[in-house]
Structure 1
Amino acid sequence: MPDTQAILARHSEQAAQFESAKGPVSERRSAAIVAALKRSAGDIDILDKQIALEQAINDSPLVLGNKVTLLQDGPATYAAMLDAIAGAQDHINMETYIIEDDAMGQTFAQALINKQRQGVQVNLIYDSVGSLGTPKAFFDVLTEAGVAVLEFNPVNPLATRGNTWLLNNRDHRKLLIVDGRTVFLGGINISSVYTSGSVLRRSPKASQGANAWRDTDLRIDGPVVADFQKLFLQTWDKQKGKALMAKNYTPAPVAVGKDIVRAIGSTPDDPYSLVYLTLVSAISNAEKQVYLTNAYFVPDPQLIQALIDAAARGVDVRLILPSYSDSALVFHAGRAQYGPLLEGGVKIYERQGALLHAKTAIVDGVWSTVGSSNLDWRSFMDNDEVNAVVLGRDFAAQMAAAFAIDQAASQAIDAQTWAKRPLGVKLKEWLARLWERWL
């Protein structure tokens, strides 16, 4: 993992820079934007340092003029996605880790086929490992209808496009881009397991039970969609997909709201994970709060230290993690790290009544991120991932409200009680940690 502090020190003097639908914003207006953000959230240092670092390591700018909509759980997200697909006029670009041949997968497949038949070009990237259980016939039907389908790093070495078989590099991104003007991203795959939702309420007793899934996505409209589109097209080219049908993939940007957003994509080809570096530096710059919600928590030593150091500075550091998981190894490997974190003053909560699959962060009431990246070695070193960073108090307040509801539906982990957990549990954690680099 990169030395975050060393990179931050090299770039801490850079001034914040923004872009609008009309292009780069002047230094004077950029300074005014940061000043306004500080007035709304307190005089916090994270803005200067974090913005400087992000723009130094990432070629995607902070973009003004967007509208960000927070979507919680599968039912709301799927409804919004299918509505956007139905309204598509020019093209649909979709990238997903998992698309299953179940009721929800068939619903999306039919929606995409319908648009293809209407003359809207549909381009689909799916991950070979993530969708390993989906039969070839499912994708053949899409292809026969005219949908351009691309399998990311095929498991079958004979299907490899190029000279390298990259089985360990997976496409964990979840993107749906409609007409180059609307993007959906977050943690939700295309699968019926998400259709139950988690019934977010303030009481833990309100959850639906063990079959419910808790996840978070965003719908973003506005100029920043062009940067997510760029990431999709880069993946298509890198995977040597067939030439795409000529469509208006880069429409003229139009401001539609007031949200400030940066697109952050990471791949193993990068010298370091941009998503990881961005998050660790945000934690390192925090002055008030760090609230993380994550599905698969297998942190490296630098992330653990950043959380402990933040708590030592008086930052309110809280983690909401799963109380059970669809991956026992990941679950126990993450729990093996609870001891040092609890001793360091980090508060840990385990979400009850639903399988937690969200990947979100809120820092100091002004910096938020939602995306596909877990807090594990695989996401930061082996996967293609994508996150959105949103600056602003109003959106962070929405995120904080959702965090509070999840915390109310969680069980706090007490340090003394945790230290006395059974020997059999500790053994599972020790064994799982032997595999943590590959989880």
Structure 2
Amino acid sequence: MRLPLPSPSIKPNAMPMTADSKPETQTLVAECAGNDIQVFVEGDVLFDAMLSDFATAQRRVWLESYIFADDAVGREFMKVLSDCSRRGLDVRVRVDAVGSHFGFSGGSAHSLKAAGVKFIWCHPWQWRKPWLFHRRNHRKLAVVDDRVAYLGGFNITALNSRRISGEARWRDTHFRLCGPVVDDARRAYESFGRGDLKWRCGDDQDGIQLLTNHGHACRFRLRCHLKDRFKSARKRVWLTTPYFVPDSGTQRDLCRAAVDGVDVRVLVPGKSDVPFVQWAARAAYSSLLASGIRIFEYQPRVLHAKTLIVDDDWSTVGTANFDYRSLFINYELNLAAECHALNTALATLFENDLNESLEVRQQPWSRRPLSARMAEFIGWSARHWL
């Protein structure tokens, strides 16, 4: 029997912003170490920018996405990608076999291949290597020539489009990158394609680098990087994640930072597309709240953004969720930067999202009903597989 999703004990954080105060066409731009970083929070604006860059490409268009749906948005991408290939460009598309299994048909894949696109299903089921099916390519990356790259949380689907899905479209965050870091994005795409799954870029460019979640020096590279940042935090740790199921060590790091006086805030969805994950997340609320961590649940729609801000200068945005799968199993790609301008831009977005969120309070939360506790137990028991 499916247990009811428990309602949190919450208190409004602030009055929600009006549509006029946060126009859907707005994007933020930051300059970091010779790179221009444009921040997108609306799918339609992002997709228009991507398709425009694809259409004007001269050499290559490389794309990978966990979800590539052959809906109205996906079909527009397929058309532009096919046109690029017919113009003689090197067009490559890498799509996860599980993430896109129900949304992208074999006929669509055949159509791209017929246009000359180098299309690859990532990690399809193999009887000889069944363990690979559990490890998914969760990365979202696009590289256009040697001048532009895109990286972040947006998948290619109408779920992200206000034109199609209306006010119910998902809330996400994505980057458009111009500058030296584009070369690292190109090498990140190439290395994954040739099986170098623990690739790392060279020396960081004055504090900006691409991070995979697997490495040689540290087996779980992204987690090690985050652990160091939590330990060094002095002012704030502001985390936005759609799936919040941290391992016990990461929970201790966050709690320790809060006990030491760091302003630790966690923003998660109030409306989740995966109820089991929300149950697992809420199982950790009590210990986090007791340590002084503030937890907020975003109300208007599904929150899918993955951002982290530490103090005033460091931040990261990418594909990694704050759960077991992203930190230990799947393949992910994040951009991390020591950049005050980017940190400030992301902090502004974080504060805007808090204005549309409800805060979980410790005292009411401790009195939640037994049905809620049972749901949390079920979710937490399955946390390694969610």
1:132 aligned to which of 101, 110, 128: 101
2:298 aligned to which of 351, 373, 377: 351
Identity rate, percent:
35
Distance 2:286 2:363 in 1: 9
RMSD, aligned CA? 2.2
Distance 2:266 2:369 in 1: 23
Distance 1:139 1:271 in 2: 37
Instruction: Check conservation: 2:242, 2:305, Cα contact below 8 A.
Output: yes
Q: Which moved more, 1:287-296 or 1:266-275?
A: 266-275
Distance 1:368 1:301 in 2: 23
The reply to whether residue 168 of structure 1 matches residue 168 of structure 2 is: no
Instruction: Check conservation: 2:214, 2:222, Cα contact below 8 A.
Output: no
The reply to whether residue 265 of structure 1 matches residue 248 of structure 2 is: no
1:405 is matched with 352
1:291 is matched with 238
2:160 aligned to which of 194, 202, 227: 194
Instruction: Check conservation: 2:170, 2:301, Cα contact below 8 A.
Output: yes
1:145 is matched with 115
| Alignment-mate amino acid for residue 79 of structure 1 | D
Q: Deviations over 1:387-438 (max 9, x none)?
A: 0012221111111100000000000100001111111111100011110011
**Deviation above 6 Å: which 4+ runs of structure 1?**
none
1:75 aligned to which of 16, 38, 44: 44
The alpha-carbon deviation at position 381 of structure 1 amounts to: 1.2
Q: Deviations over 1:332-374 (max 9, x none)?
A: 1011100000000000000001100000001111001000000
The reply to whether residue 321 of structure 1 matches residue 268 of structure 2 is: yes
| Alignment-mate amino acid for residue 100 of structure 2 | S
The alpha-carbon deviation at position 179 of structure 1 amounts to: 0.4
Instruction: Check conservation: 1:293, 1:358, Cα contact below 8 A.
Output: yes
Instruction: Check conservation: 1:216, 1:359, Cα contact below 8 A.
Output: yes
Instruction: Check conservation: 1:113, 1:147, Cα contact below 8 A.
Output: yes
2:68 is matched with 99
| Alignment-mate amino acid for residue 152 of structure 1 | C
The alpha-carbon deviation at position 272 of structure 1 amounts to: 2.1
2:172 is matched with 215
SS at match of 2:119: strand
| Alignment-mate amino acid for residue 192 of structure 2 | T
1:108 is matched with 77
| Alignment-mate amino acid for residue 281 of structure 1 | D
Instruction: Check conservation: 1:196, 1:212, Cα contact below 8 A.
Output: yes
The alpha-carbon deviation at position 271 of structure 1 amounts to: 5.0
Distance 1:111 1:315 in 2: 47
1:339 is matched with 286
Query: Which structure has the higher relative contact order (CA within 8 Å, separation 6+)?
Result: 2
Distance 1:302 1:426 in 2: 22
Distance 1:106 1:269 in 2: 39
Gaps of 5+ in 2: 1-31, 198-204
Instruction: Check conservation: 1:268, 1:382, Cα contact below 8 A.
Output: no
Instruction: Check conservation: 1:212, 1:353, Cα contact below 8 A.
Output: no
Q: Deviations over 1:238-294 (max 9, x none)?
A: 299xxxxxxxxxxxxxxxxx9852111124888522222212221111000110000
Distance 2:109 2:216 in 1: 28
1:66 is matched with 35
The alignment covers a number of residue pairs equal to 347
Distance 1:411 1:272 in 2: 37
Instruction: Check conservation: 2:218, 2:224, Cα contact below 8 A.
Output: no
SS at match of 1:437: coil
| Alignment-mate amino acid for residue 423 of structure 1 | L
| Alignment-mate amino acid for residue 354 of structure 2 | Q
1:366 is matched with 313
Instruction: Check conservation: 1:74, 1:188, Cα contact below 8 A.
Output: yes
Instruction: Check conservation: 2:215, 2:221, Cα contact below 8 A.
Output: no
Gaps of 5+ in 1: 1-62, 200-207, 241-257
1:234 is matched with 191
Instruction: Check conservation: 1:317, 1:347, Cα contact below 8 A.
Output: yes
**Residue 281 to residue 239, structure 1, CA distance change in 2 (3 Å):** closer
1:22 is matched with none
SS at match of 1:98: coil
1:432 is matched with 379
The reply to whether residue 178 of structure 1 matches residue 144 of structure 2 is: yes
Distance 1:376 1:130 in 2: 17
**Residue 326 to residue 268, structure 1, CA distance change in 2 (3 Å):** farther
Q: Deviations over 1:110-160 (max 9, x none)?
A: 0101111112110111100111112111100000000001111112x26x7
**Residue 217 to residue 270, structure 1, CA distance change in 2 (3 Å):** farther
**Residue 218 to residue 376, structure 1, CA distance change in 2 (3 Å):** same
Q: Deviations over 1:298-330 (max 9, x none)?
A: 010111111111111111111111102111111
| Alignment-mate amino acid for residue 233 of structure 1 | E
| Alignment-mate amino acid for residue 133 of structure 2 | L
Query: 1:240-259 maps to which residues of 2 (within 5 A)?
Result: none
SS at match of 1:356: coil
TM-score normalised to structure 1 length: 0.76
2:15 is matched with none
Distance 1:343 1:164 in 2: 42
Instruction: Check conservation: 1:69, 1:220, Cα contact below 8 A.
Output: yes
